[in-house]
């Protein structure tokens, strides 16, 4: 069913297929990886600036109003009046990395796919949106509210693009962000990253001496390795035997003796902090082994406290475990640790559902760990949530369902998408359900068929949203 006369627009989008593929190939051929600034209008390097100029020049040629915000971001506008409808995309890409079968910056077409860095994240979706807009314009659609397609240039690093942009132009009243999954993501959990620090004195003589503990790389990654450097309690075999017993023949653990010192290494499995069940936390395993030595005083008290309060990722022992039906369960990742020379520092990454708030979490963590640690750093983002019944979500879901026939419900995730940078908008595509997640991977590609489906979905979404009256209960006639 083609509600509100989408049929001619959809047919026109289909006609653009070869042109769209060419544009995507040309965009992929601009290796828009962040590099050193190249002048005032290229704050993220010359290639990203070139990619921005490319899409803006195309837009101008097609009759849209184009504006470049000093290379931080740019936009194309169509129509007048009303509250702006925004679509946010990004033109920067992560570095290619190793192991590609296809050249990462050529846009090779093979087996119905276009390969290259940025094919799906986020140049393919950019092309889909541009041609959806062009089709609407060519079909004579006059939006009741201005459509603004915004191109950020720093999504993969620090989102400075949107920081700059929103200082120059008010953010759109509503919109969507084609930088994640279909059907759409209506709930991104809240997140808070905490740094905790403590000082400690020497442990009583006669026991194991802990020289150093180190593990993890970033708060938002489940640590895949951790190690401790120890001096045994005595030179006899008793200490070594106790340590071996604590390691319990765990294949992930290696012990190495250099002189008097013992290096204890643990291998885990990395995962995103929002999906801790997919990883194995090497720091937590290491701390459990150290606690099993039964030492007290000095750094040992801090380790014993951490083992008691953070034995896993649910937050249970910190008093923050909770879940709700919309957003799922809270997760708590012990991401990094550094202990040595009288100082200890750990970083936690907590993703929380709608049923708790940041203040409560911080209070409880400081109550539970307060006997040892003080919170010295804190960075939080509230949940990004739109009810299923909200007009924006209903309208976007209708566009998706009409085009695909799929009535999967919207998604809730623990990660954060670029939708946070747009403000009043949700992540909407381009990845169709069941497709592999190829962003940031080697041999990134987009199926040509998926590119076209995405363009048609975005065309419908623009049509419905910019027609002025957001779909209401009785909107379907």
Residue 256 CB, shortest distance to Zn ion, in Å, is: 41
Is residue 142 reached through a cis peptide bond, with omega within 30 degrees of 0 on the bond before it?
no
- DSSP H or E segment with residue 402: helix 391-404
Residue 447 CB, shortest distance to Zn ion, in Å, is: 18
d(CA 293, CA 208): 8
Query: Which of 84, 92, 139, 450 does the annotation list as catalytic?
Result: 92
**CA 119 to centroid of chain Cα atoms:** 17
Q: Which is nearer to Zn ion, 122 or 331 (by Cβ)?
A: 122
Residue 124 CB, shortest distance to Zn ion, in Å, is: 11
Read off the tokens for 150: 């915004």
Residue 151 CB, shortest distance to Zn ion, in Å, is: 12
Q: Which is nearer to Zn ion, 347 or 450 (by Cβ)?
A: 450
Sequence length of the chain is 477
Cα separation values, 214 from 49, 172, 223, 269, Å: 39, 45, 11, 16
Read off the tokens for 272: 């995103």
d(CA 275, CA 271): 7
Closest listed residue to residue 366, CA positions, set 383, 348, 382: 348
- DSSP H or E segment with residue 114: strand 113-115
CB atoms within 10 A of CB 230: 22
Q: Which is nearer to Zn ion, 121 or 349 (by Cβ)?
A: 121
Q: Which is nearer to Zn ion, 84 or 121 (by Cβ)?
A: 121
Residue 118 CB, shortest distance to Zn ion, in Å, is: 9
d(CA 20, CA 16): 6
Whether the Cβ atoms of residue 48 and residue 117 lie closer than 8 Å to each other: no
Q: Which is nearer to Zn ion, 105 or 141 (by Cβ)?
A: 105
Q: What are residue 231's DSSP bridge partners?
A: 209
Question: Who's near 238: CB < 8 A, 6+ residues apart?
Answer: none
Q: Which is nearer to Zn ion, 120 or 339 (by Cβ)?
A: 120
Closest listed residue to residue 440, CA positions, set 97, 47, 26: 97
Residue 122 CB, shortest distance to Zn ion, in Å, is: 4
Residue 283 CB, shortest distance to Zn ion, in Å, is: 29
Phi, psi of 318 (to 5 degrees): -90, 0
Sign of CA dihedral 220, 222, 224, 230: positive
Query: Which of 121, 155, 209, 403 does the annotation list as catalytic?
Result: 155
Alpha helices in 41-184 (DSSP H): 46-61, 124-138, 160-168
Is residue 25 reached through a cis peptide bond, with omega within 30 degrees of 0 on the bond before it?
no
The question of whether 155 is a catalytic residue gets the answer: yes
Q: Which is nearer to Zn ion, 180 or 213 (by Cβ)?
A: 180
Residue 47 CB, shortest distance to Zn ion, in Å, is: 16
DSSP, collapsed to helix, strand or coil, labels residue 99 as coil
Binding site for Zn ion (CB under 5 A): 121-122, 179
With both helix axes pointing from N to C terminus, report the angle between 448-466 and 7-15 in degrees, rounded to the nearest 10: 140
Give the DSSP letter string of 298-353.
THHHHHHHHHHH-SSSS-GGGT---EETTTEE-EEEEEEEEEETTEEEEEEEEEE-
Phi, psi of 326 (to 5 degrees): -80, -50
Q: Which is nearer to Zn ion, 236 or 436 (by Cβ)?
A: 436
d(CA 172, CA 79): 14
Closest listed residue to residue 320, CA positions, set 354, 277, 365, 276: 365
Q: Which is nearer to Zn ion, 104 or 223 (by Cβ)?
A: 104
Residue 92 CB, shortest distance to Zn ion, in Å, is: 9
Q: Which residues are catalytic?
A: 92, 155
């Amino acid at each position: 069913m083609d509600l509100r006369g989408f049929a001619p627009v959809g047919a026109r989008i289909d006609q653009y297929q070869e042109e769209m593929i060419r544009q995507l190939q040309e965009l992929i051929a601009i290796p828009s990886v962040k590099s050193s600034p190249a002048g005032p209008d290229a704050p993220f390097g010359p290639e990203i600036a070139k990619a921005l100029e490319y899409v803006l020049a195309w837009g101008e040629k097609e009759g849209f109003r184009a504006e470049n915000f000093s290379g931080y971001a740019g936009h194309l506008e169509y129509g007048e009046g009303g509250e702006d409808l925004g679509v946010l995309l990004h033109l920067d890409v992560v570095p290619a990395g190793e192991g590609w079968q296809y050249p990462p910056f050529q846009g090779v077409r093979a087996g119905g796919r276009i390969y290259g860095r940025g094919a799906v994240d986020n140049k393919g979706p950019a092309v889909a949106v541009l041609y959806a807009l062009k089709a609407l314009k060519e079909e004579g659609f006059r939006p009741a509210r201005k459509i603004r397609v915004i191109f950020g240039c720093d999504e993969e690093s620090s989102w400075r693009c949107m920081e700059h942009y929103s200082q120059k132009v008010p953010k759109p009243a509503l919109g969507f962000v084609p930088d994640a999954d279909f059907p759409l993501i209506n709930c991104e959990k809240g997140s808070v990253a905490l740094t905790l620090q403590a000082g400690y004195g020497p442990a009583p003589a006669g026991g194991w001496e802990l020289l150093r503990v180190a593990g993890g790389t970033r708060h938002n990654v489940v640590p895949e390795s951790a190690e401790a450097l120890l001096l045994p309690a005595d030179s006899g075999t008793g200490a070594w035997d106790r340590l071996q017993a604590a390691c319990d023949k765990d294949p992930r653990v290696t012990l190495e003796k250099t002189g008097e010192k013992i290096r204890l290494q643990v291998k885990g499995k990395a995962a995103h902090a929002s999906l801790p069940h997919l990883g194995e936390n090497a720091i937590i395993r290491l701390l459990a082994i150290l606690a099993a030595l039964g030492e007290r005083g000095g750094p040992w008290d801090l380790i014993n406290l951490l083992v008691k309060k953070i034995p896993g990722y649910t937050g249970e022992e910190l008093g923050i475990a909770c879940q709700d039906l919309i957003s799922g369960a809270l997760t708590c990742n012990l991401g990094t640790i550094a202990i040595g020379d009288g100082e200890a520092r750990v970083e936690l990454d907590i993703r929380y559902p709608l049923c708790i708030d940041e203040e409560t979490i911080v209070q409880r963590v400081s109550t539970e760990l307060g006997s040892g640690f003080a919170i010295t750093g804190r960075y939080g983002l509230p949940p990004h949530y739109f009810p299923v019944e909200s007009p924006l979500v209903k309208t976007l879901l209708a566009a998706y369902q009409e085009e695909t026939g799929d009535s999967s419900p919207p998604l809730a995730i623990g990660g954060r998408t670029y939708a946070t940078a747009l403000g009043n908008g949700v992540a909407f595509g381009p990845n169709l359900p069941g497709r592999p997640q190829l962003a940031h991977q080697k041999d990134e590609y987009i199926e040509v068929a998926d590119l076209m489906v995405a363009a048609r979905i975005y065309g419908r979404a623009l049509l419905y949203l910019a027609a002025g009256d957001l779909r209401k209960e009785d909107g379907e006639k």
